[in-house]
A and B are shown apart, each in its own frame.
Chain A
Amino acid sequence: MSASFHPSDELLVAYGAGSLDEATALLVASHLTLCPRCRSEVARIEAMGGNLLEELPPAPMGGDALADILARLDDAPVTLPPPPRKPARATASRAGSQIPAPLRAYLGGGLENVRWKRLTDGLEHALVVESGRTRARLYRIAPGIPIPEHGHGGAELTLVLQGGFSDHAGHYLVGDVACADDDTIHHPVADTDGHCICLAVTDAPLKLTGLVGRLISRFLNL
């Protein structure tokens, strides 16, 4: 299973360059785990970074930098290479059965560690990490449940981790990233064949629209 909806070039470049905030970088790294296409794209972006580094004019190092560093080498603990890799894993062909390691690092394990908070019937969430104004949250949506229609004060990225959902722009499955910007108002609906679990990153509060949405919004300080 391979993703059909990918982060934009700008996002991948910002991730490779190291300028993304932590919450967004977490979403991108989780997507990369599930998407070989974007992994090779980021490898190329990092190669661009290496190339640019080579081209930079050298700045003279202060003091006797070489002697200083050579004196420090003896005390620098050497990190040994990892043990030989396991051969291709058999389970990996079924994406979605497992949570990407970058996200597991924040959860301290799998989804069993998540303390869900109820938002509405069939919709739960949990904050994963906050960096500045940007927040990464997990959402769990019961089968067939529509998420209250909402717009965005900023961009929202949603990575599907389990199940799937649809909105006006498409049908998103495990590994897919849905991108909504400031003026998108959308009304996602979870697939009917099971819970849908997503990692969503917003860089501004969501603006829920509609009566229920406004009430939830005010109540929850989304």
Chain B
Amino acid sequence: MLDFLVQPSDDPGTKPARRKGRPIGKGTMGEECLALSGTDDAALLLSRVAEAGDREAFARLFQYYAPRVKTFMRKLGCEEALADDLAQEAMLAVWRKAAFFDPSKSAASTWIFTIARNLRIDRLRRERRPEVDVDDPALVPDTAPAADDALAQRQSGEKLRQALTGLPPEQAQIVALSFYEDKPHAEIALRLGIPLGTVKSRLRLAMKRIRAVLGDEMS
């Protein structure tokens, strides 16, 4: 199956319009290539998709993220087949919108998460997703813009990872459930059999801790 990727096809029928003769890797696609090690790699792969319509780069992203997006959808209550479809569709959106990904603004995983999130709202809840438009004339701009480069982004990504791993289990649980349950916190409280106030305070403590680790003064 993977051979298909590396055999340069001369059949114009199977050639993507965007593929612009950019050499892809070393022409091999061993298993080790499929294992993405971190968001750095993913960001690079995304830029190759955006700039050159690089199908090998896309295949690697797909191998890594599609099964995770599928788990995400399953956790949110999708059945097997639907979760497969939504994971496929999310990854198609990654292919189509790759040019919008900005590594100085977010990690690749964050960007893919937002695509999966919005797709689920659109398909499952059949609702619109109101979002900020960065070109909105009404937008009140940042007074002190954060360091805005890919390096700073990676560093804060690493700090965030550490902050999340360092959360006490009961806080980590509420954070995870906030993302994996399409339910208000009141229902999460009900399901866990703890007061809503406890859910809220654990979430607040988690956010406070994360801010502290990220060296953020906001309260």
* Chain A residues near B (Cβ < 8 Å): 1-2, 8-10, 13-14, 17-19, 21-22, 25-26, 28-30, 32-37, 39-41, 43-44, 46-54, 56-70, 72-74, 76-82, 85-86, 88-89, 91-93, 95, 97-103, 105-106, 131, 175
Contact = CB atoms under 8 A, between A and B. Distances in A.
B155 interface: no
Given A53-B72, A91-B137, A36 B59 contact: no
Interface string B32-67: 000000010000000000100101001100111111
**Interchain residue pairs A-B with the least CB separation, the first 5:** A50-B110, A58-B67, A50-B109, A98-B138, A29-B130
Interface string B162-200: 001000000000011011111111000000000000001
Most chain B Cβ neighbours within 10 Å, of A65, A131, A175: A65
Given A18-B117, A18-B118, A32 B132 contact: yes
Contacts, number: 248
B151 interface: no
Interface residues of B, number: 96
Contacts of B114: 46, 49-50
B207 to A, nearest CB: 5
Contacts of B55: 70, 73
A47 B185 CA distance: 20
Given A33-B132, A47-B107, A61-B84, A2 B140 contact: yes
Interface in B73-118: 74-75, 80-81, 83-84, 87-88, 91-92, 95-97, 99-100, 105-114, 116-118
